[in-house]
Amino acid sequence: MKIAITEHPIQPPAADSSHRDTGAELIFRGIVRDVENGMPITALEYEHYHGMAELKLQEIACMTIEKFKIQDIYCTHRSGLVVVGDVAVQIVIRSKHRKEALLAMEWFISEMKKEVPIWKWGITQDGDRFPSGKK
Protein backbone atom coordinates (compact mmCIF):
# COMPACT_ATOMS: atom_id res chain seq x y z
CA MET A 1 0.00 0.00 0.00
CA LYS A 2 1.25 3.45 -0.87
CA ILE A 3 -0.54 6.76 -0.37
CA ALA A 4 0.83 10.15 -1.46
CA ILE A 5 -0.23 13.72 -1.99
CA THR A 6 2.10 15.60 -4.32
CA GLU A 7 2.48 18.87 -6.18
CA HIS A 8 4.32 17.06 -8.98
CA PRO A 9 2.74 15.62 -12.15
CA ILE A 10 1.53 12.03 -11.79
CA GLN A 11 3.11 9.56 -14.18
CA PRO A 12 1.37 6.40 -15.43
CA PRO A 13 2.35 3.35 -13.39
CA ALA A 14 5.19 1.29 -14.79
CA ALA A 15 4.39 -2.19 -16.05
CA ASP A 16 5.04 -4.72 -13.31
CA SER A 17 4.83 -8.45 -13.96
CA SER A 18 6.25 -9.47 -10.57
CA HIS A 19 2.80 -10.02 -9.05
CA ARG A 20 2.35 -13.67 -10.03
CA ASP A 21 -0.85 -14.21 -8.01
CA THR A 22 -2.56 -11.06 -9.32
CA GLY A 23 -5.40 -11.63 -11.77
CA ALA A 24 -6.61 -8.02 -11.94
CA GLU A 25 -4.88 -4.68 -11.96
CA LEU A 26 -7.21 -1.70 -12.14
CA ILE A 27 -5.88 1.78 -12.87
CA PHE A 28 -8.05 4.85 -12.42
CA ARG A 29 -6.74 8.24 -13.53
CA GLY A 30 -8.91 11.26 -12.74
CA ILE A 31 -8.17 13.91 -15.36
CA VAL A 32 -9.03 17.62 -15.12
CA ARG A 33 -11.65 18.45 -17.74
CA ASP A 34 -12.27 21.91 -19.22
CA VAL A 35 -15.62 22.52 -17.48
CA GLU A 36 -16.33 22.57 -13.74
CA ASN A 37 -19.80 23.22 -12.33
CA GLY A 38 -20.92 24.24 -15.82
CA MET A 39 -18.19 26.88 -16.16
CA PRO A 40 -15.21 26.75 -18.55
CA ILE A 41 -11.92 26.46 -16.68
CA THR A 42 -8.20 26.30 -17.39
CA ALA A 43 -7.25 24.43 -14.21
CA LEU A 44 -8.31 23.15 -10.83
CA GLU A 45 -6.47 24.12 -7.68
CA TYR A 46 -6.42 21.49 -4.93
CA GLU A 47 -5.88 22.27 -1.27
CA HIS A 48 -5.67 19.73 1.51
CA TYR A 49 -5.41 19.59 5.27
CA HIS A 50 -1.75 18.57 5.65
CA GLY A 51 -1.28 15.45 7.73
CA MET A 52 -5.00 14.76 8.10
CA ALA A 53 -5.63 14.16 4.37
CA GLU A 54 -2.81 11.61 4.18
CA LEU A 55 -4.01 9.92 7.36
CA LYS A 56 -7.60 9.63 6.08
CA LEU A 57 -6.40 8.26 2.72
CA GLN A 58 -4.32 5.69 4.59
CA GLU A 59 -7.30 4.68 6.76
CA ILE A 60 -9.59 4.31 3.75
CA ALA A 61 -6.95 2.28 1.88
CA CYS A 62 -6.60 -0.09 4.86
CA MET A 63 -10.38 -0.46 5.09
CA THR A 64 -10.55 -1.13 1.33
CA ILE A 65 -7.95 -3.92 1.55
CA GLU A 66 -9.78 -5.48 4.47
CA LYS A 67 -13.33 -5.09 3.14
CA PHE A 68 -12.69 -6.33 -0.40
CA LYS A 69 -9.74 -8.68 0.21
CA ILE A 70 -7.65 -6.97 -2.45
CA GLN A 71 -3.90 -7.45 -2.55
CA ASP A 72 -2.73 -3.86 -2.82
CA ILE A 73 -3.74 -0.26 -3.39
CA TYR A 74 -1.75 2.79 -4.45
CA CYS A 75 -3.21 6.30 -4.47
CA THR A 76 -1.48 9.49 -5.53
CA HIS A 77 -3.43 12.77 -5.38
CA ARG A 78 -2.29 16.13 -6.66
CA SER A 79 -2.18 19.29 -4.61
CA GLY A 80 -1.80 22.79 -6.00
CA LEU A 81 -2.61 23.88 -9.55
CA VAL A 82 -3.52 21.11 -12.01
CA VAL A 83 -4.19 22.25 -15.59
CA VAL A 84 -6.85 20.86 -17.91
CA GLY A 85 -5.75 17.50 -19.30
CA ASP A 86 -3.43 16.66 -16.41
CA VAL A 87 -4.04 13.83 -13.92
CA ALA A 88 -5.40 14.96 -10.54
CA VAL A 89 -5.58 11.51 -8.94
CA GLN A 90 -4.31 8.04 -9.78
CA ILE A 91 -5.42 4.86 -8.04
CA VAL A 92 -4.06 1.38 -8.72
CA ILE A 93 -5.73 -1.68 -7.20
CA ARG A 94 -4.43 -5.24 -7.50
CA SER A 95 -6.43 -8.32 -6.61
CA LYS A 96 -6.75 -11.99 -7.45
CA HIS A 97 -10.01 -11.43 -9.35
CA ARG A 98 -11.60 -8.52 -11.23
CA LYS A 99 -14.86 -8.43 -9.29
CA GLU A 100 -13.31 -7.41 -5.96
CA ALA A 101 -11.00 -4.94 -7.75
CA LEU A 102 -13.94 -3.22 -9.45
CA LEU A 103 -16.00 -3.07 -6.25
CA ALA A 104 -13.00 -1.86 -4.24
CA MET A 105 -12.22 0.92 -6.72
CA GLU A 106 -15.77 2.28 -6.65
CA TRP A 107 -15.90 2.14 -2.85
CA PHE A 108 -12.45 3.71 -2.37
CA ILE A 109 -13.22 6.66 -4.66
CA SER A 110 -16.60 7.28 -3.00
CA GLU A 111 -15.08 7.19 0.49
CA MET A 112 -12.19 9.40 -0.58
CA LYS A 113 -14.57 12.06 -1.90
CA LYS A 114 -16.68 11.93 1.29
CA GLU A 115 -13.99 11.67 3.96
CA VAL A 116 -10.66 13.10 2.86
CA PRO A 117 -10.10 16.83 3.53
CA ILE A 118 -9.16 17.84 -0.01
CA TRP A 119 -10.88 20.82 -1.61
CA LYS A 120 -10.83 22.03 -5.18
CA TRP A 121 -11.23 25.43 -6.79
CA GLY A 122 -12.04 26.07 -10.45
CA ILE A 123 -9.74 28.55 -12.19
CA THR A 124 -11.23 30.49 -15.11
CA GLN A 125 -9.48 31.93 -18.17
CA ASP A 126 -9.47 35.34 -16.42
CA GLY A 127 -7.80 33.85 -13.36
CA ASP A 128 -10.94 33.99 -11.22
CA ARG A 129 -11.19 31.26 -8.60
CA PHE A 130 -14.46 29.64 -7.50
CA PRO A 131 -15.14 26.84 -5.03
CA SER A 132 -16.02 23.54 -6.60
CA GLY A 133 -16.98 21.78 -3.40
CA LYS A 134 -15.09 19.08 -1.59
CA LYS A 135 -13.10 16.82 -3.93
Domains of the chain by range and CATH? 2-9+22-134 (3.90.1170.40)
In Å, how far are 16, 24, 123, 130 from 118, measured between CA atoms? 30, 29, 16, 15
Helices (H), the chain: 52-68, 98-115
- 1 vs 18: CA distance, rounded Å: 16
Tell me: the pLDDT tens digits for 68-118?
999 999 999 999 999 999 999 999 999 999 999 999 999 999 999 999 999
Name the 3-class secondary structure at 7. coil
Q: What is the pTM of this model?
A: 0.94
